[in-house]
Amino acid sequence: MQSPQPTPHDKMMFQLNLRQRGISDQAVLKAMEDVPRELFVTSLDRGYAYRDTPLGIACGQTISQPFIVAYMTEQLDLQPSHRVLEIGTGSGYQAAILSKLARDVVTLERFRTLADRARLVLKELKCSNVDVILGDGFDVPDTLGTFDRIMVTAAMEEIPEALLGRLEPGGVLIAPVGPADDKQVLVRVVRTAEGFDRQELVAVRFVPALLGIAREL
Ligand code: SAH
């Protein structure tokens, strides 16, 4: 049985919740309003798409809680000229949000099934500035170059040096850092002329980042 479609009231409460929880960047709020989250969740979860909660997707992964998506996006301080890298495409929802706020988005996913599905939904939504790549965020292909912003949406025990090296000067990276099956902390790193400035934001819980392309689909 299919759960009901989200209602206009659900969407209004969704926006209200984001504002009440402190999201104030108008462009971020608009992106959150414009991207239909119900297209990124399983058909059984459609009716819950506008609840502020993570939901299960294929391959045992999760689409993040909307507040966290909005918060991480706000913390990235995006400009329309930015080229952005996301590690962990999952459903493609976060990539769709980024696509509204940046020039180009490259997103890496280690499960082929998820990468293929995300590509389809993003195409349907005409997010033509997103490139979904089957790949490993611990081994970002050199050919992808450097980025103004990097967002990691799977928990890493440490932020790899190699990933920090992919930041342009003045660039910002945001990532959940900590043990796989426990709480992590959201870390924001800015690349300065002298090195890297690191700031801890809030406690979060993400699925772990795993090495290599997944062998299952
Ligand atoms: N941003 C997603 C949710 C991310 S869930 C969304 O909006 O729906 C985390 C995702 O990171 C999972 O799909 C997982 O398969 C992926 N992932 C984990 N380790 C990875 C790695 N090393 N490289 C690329 N993707 C990875």
| Phi, psi for 166 (deg, rounded to 5) | -85, 0
Alpha carbon nearest to ligand 1 atom 11, residue: 88
Alpha carbon nearest to ligand 1 atom 20, residue: 209
For the CA of 118, the closest atom of ligand 1 is 8
- Out of 42, 72, 87, 216, mutate this one to test ligand 1's pocket (max ligand atoms within 8 Å of CB): namely 87
The residues carrying an active-site annotation are: 64
At 115-164, the pLDDT tens digits run: 999 999 999 999 999 999 999 999 999 999 999 999 999 999 999 999 99
- Out of 210, 215, 217, mutate this one to test ligand 1's pocket (max ligand atoms within 8 Å of CB): namely 210
Alpha carbon nearest to ligand 1 atom 19, residue: 209
Domain residue spans of the chain: 64-204
CA–CA separation, 90 and 203 (whole Å)? 21
Residue 5: exposed, middle, or buried by beta-carbon count in 10 A (0-12, 13-18, 19+)? exposed
Alpha carbon nearest to ligand 1 atom 10, residue: 88
Question: For residue 204, what are its two tokens?
Answer: 């979060």
At 5-49, the pLDDT tens digits run: 889 999 999 999 999 999 999 999 999 999 999 999 999 999 999
Reported as half-sphere exposure (CB side, CA atoms, 13 A), residue 70 has a value of 29
- The CA dihedral of 157, 104, 21, 53, to the nearest 10 degrees, is -60
At 43-95, the pLDDT tens digits run: 999 999 999 999 999 999 999 999 999 999 999 999 999 999 999 999 999 99
Spacing, Cα 193 to ligand 1 middle (Å) = 30
**Structure confidence at residue 3 as a pLDDT band (50, 70, 90):** low
CATH classification number, 64-204, choose in 3.30.360.10, 3.10.20.90, 3.40.50.1220, 3.40.50.150: 3.40.50.150
CA–CA separation, 129 and 43 (whole Å)? 26
Spacing, Cα 112 to ligand 1 middle (Å) = 11
